[in-house]
A = this chain, B = another copy of it.
Amino acid sequence: MSNYDRNAPETLKLLESLFENQDFETILEIFRELHPADQAKLFYGLKTDQQEVLLEQMEIPEIADIFDELDDKQTVIAARNLPLPFLADIIDDMDPDEAADLLGDLSGQDVRKTISLMEEPEEVLPLLRYADETAGGRMTTDFLTLELEDSADSAIQYLRSTGLENDIPYYLFVVNKEKSLLGVIGLRELVCADPGQIISDIMESNVISVQAMQDQEEAARVMKHYDLQALPVLNLQNQLVGVISHDDILDVLVDESTEDIYRLASVSDSALEPDSRLFLQLKGRLPWLLLNTITALIGSWVISNFGDLFVQVA
């Protein structure tokens, strides 16, 4: 993994011919050499039946990584025809925020069945109650909490014991028994502290946070304004329920600024699709270009037919 794939179109062409020869082994080999972000891009470029064959050949964690990277709509399409027990295993392995988005897009009956088949639904369930475009809809439940009286050393031991599978933010959050947020400490500050120092002495107690029901755009603006790598999200009881990480917010900021400006430029919402941007942008502006052209045509027709009158009036 982690090769920066600058040759996606070539790779896709290669894959096409490998699919024709049913050489699934080589296809998997190519996929496994790529970063999940590039795997997702390639996967999206395949035909539906090719995607299905590929999913049959892949391990659950591999599929979960690709699903994490696909756009929400693409994930639903890819998940559509999977047997629910298989899908439940994949969702168990996905990032909780992406898993919640996928579950939220399934039909009502499938959601309930899939959740009942999941091994660890408790990470995802709290996220289902927030709309996609809220801070709660963007947050993950994958974060680590410390207590005031922990020592720096015990905090590091705790971090080590959790392992590295999950993409936990570089901030650790300090809460009390009621889960109220009391402070935050960066991993760097934790590493540089004396091992015996108590968390309450080294944490930052003025924590910037947002409410779960707030708009994702507000969360994004706060993170951008304060250069935060992670933003804690509180529920109405001011309990820490999740964390938004910097990469989630990149997407929001780009989407939202695009959306705002499209609106101002009177471009229709269909032009907001991130894919084939140029095409959609042109499509969005076409009615206006057409209107301009018609106006110009009428103008020139008027002038060519009644030019003499203009001269007379002048």
Contacts and interface: CB of A to CB of B under 8 A. Distances in A.
Interface of A: 1-4, 35, 37-38, 156, 159-160, 163-164, 168, 170, 187-189, 191-192, 204, 206-208, 222-227, 229, 246-247, 249-251, 253-254, 257-258, 261-262, 264-265, 267, 281, 285, 295, 298-299, 302, 305-306, 309, 313
A205 to B, nearest CB: 8
Contacts of A249: 250
Contact of A164 (B192, B206, B225, B258): B192
Nearest to A282: B264
Contact of A226 (B35, B222, B305, B309): B35
30 contacts: A2-B206, A35-B208, A35-B226, A38-B225, A156-B191, A159-B191, A160-B191, A164-B192, A168-B188, A170-B170, A170-B187, A170-B188, A170-B229, A187-B187, A187-B188, A224-B247, A224-B250, A227-B247, A227-B250, A229-B246, A253-B253, A253-B254, A254-B257, A257-B258, A264-B281, A264-B285, A265-B267, A295-B295, A302-B306, A305-B313
Contact of A225 (B37, B187, B224): B37
Contacts of A229: 170, 229, 246
Question: What are the 7 closest A-B residue pairs judged by CB atoms, nearest first?
Answer: A2-B206, A265-B265, A227-B247, A261-B261, A4-B208, A170-B170, A246-B246
A159 B188 contact: yes
A192 B188 CA distance: 13
A102 B35 CA distance: 37
A226 to B, nearest CB: 5
Main secondary structure of the interface of A (DSSP, over half): helix
A219 to B, nearest CB: 12
Nearest to A163: B192
Contacts of A285: 264-265
Nearest to A223: B250
A250 B226 CA distance: 11
Contacts of A1: 206
User: Quick one: which of A208, A262, A264, A299 has the most chain B CB within 10 A?
Assistant: A264
Contacts of A2: 204, 206-208
Contacts of A189: 164
A121 to B, nearest CB: 25
Which residue, A223, A253, A257, A313, has most C-beta atoms of chain B within 10 A? Answer: A257
A2, A37, A227 interface centre (most CB from chain B within 10 Å): A227
Nearest to A278: B264
Contacts of A225: 37-38
B257 A222 contact: no
A200 to B, nearest CB: 16
A225 B192 CA distance: 31
A17 to B, nearest CB: 26
Contacts of A37: 225-227
